[in-house]
Homo-oligomer: A and B are copies of this chain.
């Protein structure tokens, strides 16, 4: 029986483990050709000419296309359409595509790409957000390097810092982060006889992809069909066009043959989206008793050469810049800036990861200056329902940061921390650090966060869920079958799922923003309830009941309890036409009713009202001889409303913490003049399971009345805390502040040698 609240094993576990499940990357349609792209290989340059003839002449080459072959606007971009499908006048980053080749084999493709000569006139590049804002800085776009300037002001703003008895001030830097999904960007596309472009692609947003393609290539969006199977990871890096427009362009030029494109790891590094690097100037003021009073911060976001979701990432970061705390007076300024670095975009945490580091570090600084326990300081200022957050928005939904912090305070990692630290072995130092974080859920105001669910009783008597949102590995598909099974009282043998396909399922938004299970789940609940009522009504007809009372669903049947008669679902399925067996319902997420004036510059995605919360504690051991940092113990306390599947919940927490530990300690993109020097997993080091501590996970299940069974999305919140918690723990161990990530052994060793700041050694963020 599928029951919500229970660790129902993933129905797709077996097919995934055995390799039976087909990802987009596993799709090799009959007669397919290979598509691939010539990349610029320079960060900033004018395109003087593109010589394609030698490539075209190569046997086995089907087509070589440049910007001149793009039939539409040649522009893609989710909010601002500023990114060419194939670069025309200039290239703005190392990975800009300049030509598309279709070939019979992968070998021919590689050879053809190597034969294309791009005549480039190098331009001076800019590789730092603040430098890009200087008057003489090279211009990435003619309109200037500033994509978006934002300001959020609440209460007296910056002026309130003058009223504060205690003010702490610090600058922080966080680096790029690579999504590093197992399945790189890829897909297959072909043109049907009726002209429809069909695409099977590893995408977080198949419905939106149609409009990206349509705009870029000048095609009727209704003549595009996009389907998306399971993703081998997404994390935001497949939210927006990667291969889509290129593939569609290829399909238009392949003579009807399917074209497959699959970026290899290096191409994924070079051309894929990244987490935004940010430089953050923070000033936080408090009263002598520790009550937070004022915050001022300036945040510089390096969004790379194209807008993508840069403005929205910055908005969300700014919205979270004050952490999960009450601060009556705030002034939060943000600049989202074009550079010639790789393209930054959506990534798990979506801007919040970055500011959480800065804010939690200044909270620690403040606690130290006040001589106050850092946990007590956080509990004292923790947001409660009815409070206003740092943007002045009232928290009217479940607001569980204080319960999280209190649960952390009762855990032995906290209560026994001093004893644990004292028992460090020779040449080892130990420290503990905590962090309190939150993460908004959903799109926020300006873009309805909506989903449409369709559920059908099949002629065979099964319940079929038509799912409009992608499962990129987080397990939402499983949650959907659990929800359908729960409401319709069926076990896993009687339910099945149709993956997102613009031709079969309904638009339900992207798989992102912690919204997937919440929004689609709510729509699905409604659809299932409607189907239940419909099945009861049809059963009453069958059983000649005067009214549909006393009916109940049982596995495979509807039963009339008073008379003990039942009608098998298979009989109902056979007996009625489709319209009697299908229910479609929709849901839109609630939005803030009190929109701060300061948010007026943000057209999409500000503010939010639904947040998940977490409090983490990291216990690290530092090797005095090598500077190596080991996370020995770790606890994540998470508040995300009601848990639909405890195992799935825990997997999300584990995954987020693992990715956060990589962000904190290991993942360093080495950059030189906009070129990534380590576009591979040999030199860009990801944590493996051996690098991760045994992780304790506690859930605080508060109630979110609007959520499906009371749930909120928690896929993102867990990544925001590891960096600040680990930085705090390292400071506790070595006695020097850590204000830049990733935190290398070298910089820790440097700190151990007595310098005040651990990061002085190696410049922290390398760009």
How far, in whole Å, are A577 and B586 apart by their CA atoms in the complex? Answer: 42
Interface pair A642/B700, CB less than 8 Å apart? no
Interface pair A4/B561, CB less than 8 Å apart? no
User: Is A486 on the interface with B (CB-CB < 8 A)?
Assistant: yes
User: Is A605 on the interface with B (CB-CB < 8 A)?
Assistant: no
Interface pair B394/A561, CB less than 8 Å apart? yes
B residues near A387, Cβ cutoff 8 Å = 554
How far, in whole Å, are A510 and B562 apart by their CA atoms in the complex? Answer: 29
Given contacts A1-B399, A394-B559, A564-B594, contact A385 B489 (CB under 8 A): yes
Convert A396-407 into 0s and 1s, putting 1 for each residue whose CB lies closer than 8 angstroms to a CB of B.
101110110001
The contact of A701 among B396, B399, B701, by CB within 8 Å, is B701
User: Is A553 on the interface with B (CB-CB < 8 A)?
Assistant: yes
How far, in whole Å, are A394 and B562 apart by their CA atoms in the complex? Answer: 10
Convert A98-123 into 0s and 1s, putting 1 for each residue whose CB lies closer than 8 angstroms to a CB of B.
00000000000000000000000000
Report A590 CB to chain B, min CB distance, Å. Answer: 11
Convert A80-107 into 0s and 1s, putting 1 for each residue whose CB lies closer than 8 angstroms to a CB of B.
0000000000000000000000000000
How far, in whole Å, are A554 and B396 apart by their CA atoms in the complex? Answer: 8
How far, in whole Å, are A524 and B456 apart by their CA atoms in the complex? Answer: 37
Interface pair B561/A396, CB less than 8 Å apart? yes
B residues near A491, Cβ cutoff 8 Å = 384
Convert A452-482 into 0s and 1s, putting 1 for each residue whose CB lies closer than 8 angstroms to a CB of B.
0000000000000000000000000000000
B residues near A670, Cβ cutoff 8 Å = none
Interface pair A386/B489, CB less than 8 Å apart? yes
How far, in whole Å, are A651 and B646 apart by their CA atoms in the complex? Answer: 22
Report A242 CB to chain B, min CB distance, Å. Answer: 38
How far, in whole Å, are A426 and B594 apart by their CA atoms in the complex? Answer: 71
The contact of A3 among B403, B489, B593, B594, by CB within 8 Å, is B403
Interface pair A4/B554, CB less than 8 Å apart? no
Given contacts A486-B703, A491-B384, A554-B385, contact A642 B5 (CB under 8 A): yes
B residues near A710, Cβ cutoff 8 Å = 642, 709-710
Convert A703-734 into 0s and 1s, putting 1 for each residue whose CB lies closer than 8 angstroms to a CB of B.
10000011000000000000000000000000
Given contacts A396-B552, A593-B552, contact A1 B385 (CB under 8 A): yes
Q: Which of A6, A559, A561 has its CB near the most chain B CB atoms (within 10 A)?
A: A6
Report A331 CB to chain B, min CB distance, Å. Answer: 18
Instruction: Identify which of residues 227-241 in chain A touch chain B, using a CB-to-CB cut-off of 8 Å.
Output: none
B residues near A554, Cβ cutoff 8 Å = 385-387, 394
Q: Which of A396, A491, A562 has its CB near the most chain B CB atoms (within 10 A)?
A: A396
Interface pair B402/A1, CB less than 8 Å apart? yes
User: Is A599 on the interface with B (CB-CB < 8 A)?
Assistant: no
Main secondary structure of the interface of A (DSSP, over half): loop
User: Is A555 on the interface with B (CB-CB < 8 A)?
Assistant: yes
B residues near A174, Cβ cutoff 8 Å = none
B residues near A196, Cβ cutoff 8 Å = none
The contact of A5 among B3, B552, B703, by CB within 8 Å, is B703
Interface pair B555/A386, CB less than 8 Å apart? yes
How far, in whole Å, are A557 and B386 apart by their CA atoms in the complex? Answer: 9
B residues near A642, Cβ cutoff 8 Å = 5, 642, 701, 710
How far, in whole Å, are A5 and B491 apart by their CA atoms in the complex? Answer: 27
How far, in whole Å, are A277 and B594 apart by their CA atoms in the complex? Answer: 64
Report A387 CB to chain B, min CB distance, Å. Answer: 8
B residues near A399, Cβ cutoff 8 Å = 1
Report A491 CB to chain B, min CB distance, Å. Answer: 7
Instruction: Identify which of residues 497-534 in chain A touch chain B, using a CB-to-CB cut-off of 8 Å.
Output: none
Closest to A563 in B: B594
Report A7 CB to chain B, min CB distance, Å. Answer: 7
User: Is A550 on the interface with B (CB-CB < 8 A)?
Assistant: yes
B residues near A552, Cβ cutoff 8 Å = 386, 394, 396, 593
User: Is A643 on the interface with B (CB-CB < 8 A)?
Assistant: yes
Report A37 CB to chain B, min CB distance, Å. Answer: 48
B residues near A703, Cβ cutoff 8 Å = 3-5, 486, 709
Report A304 CB to chain B, min CB distance, Å. Answer: 37
Interface pair A700/B5, CB less than 8 Å apart? yes
B residues near A3, Cβ cutoff 8 Å = 385, 398, 400, 403, 702-703
Instruction: Identify which of residues 127-165 in chain A touch chain B, using a CB-to-CB cut-off of 8 Å.
Output: none
Report A31 CB to chain B, min CB distance, Å. Answer: 47
B residues near A400, Cβ cutoff 8 Å = 3, 6
Interface pair A561/B386, CB less than 8 Å apart? no
Interface pair B7/A407, CB less than 8 Å apart? yes
- List 30 interface pairs A-B (beta carbons < 8 Å), by A numbering: A1-B384, A1-B386, A1-B399, A1-B402, A3-B702, A3-B703, A5-B642, A5-B700, A5-B703, A6-B701, A6-B702, A7-B403, A385-B555, A386-B489, A386-B554, A386-B555, A386-B557, A386-B559, A486-B703, A550-B593, A550-B594, A561-B592, A561-B593, A562-B593, A642-B642, A642-B701, A646-B701, A701-B701, A709-B710, A710-B710
What are the 10 A-B residue pairs with the smallest beta carbon separation, nearest first? A386-B554, A561-B593, A561-B594, A5-B701, A6-B403, A396-B552, A1-B384, A550-B593, A3-B702, A4-B703
Beyond A3-B703, A6-B403, A384-B555, 6 additional contacts (C-beta under 8 Å) are A4-B702, A5-B642, A386-B489, A394-B552, A561-B592, A561-B594
**A contact set with B: CB distance below 8 Å:** 1, 3-7, 384-387, 394, 396, 398-400, 402-403, 407, 486, 489, 491, 550, 552-555, 557, 559, 561-562, 564, 592-594, 641-643, 646, 700-703, 709-710
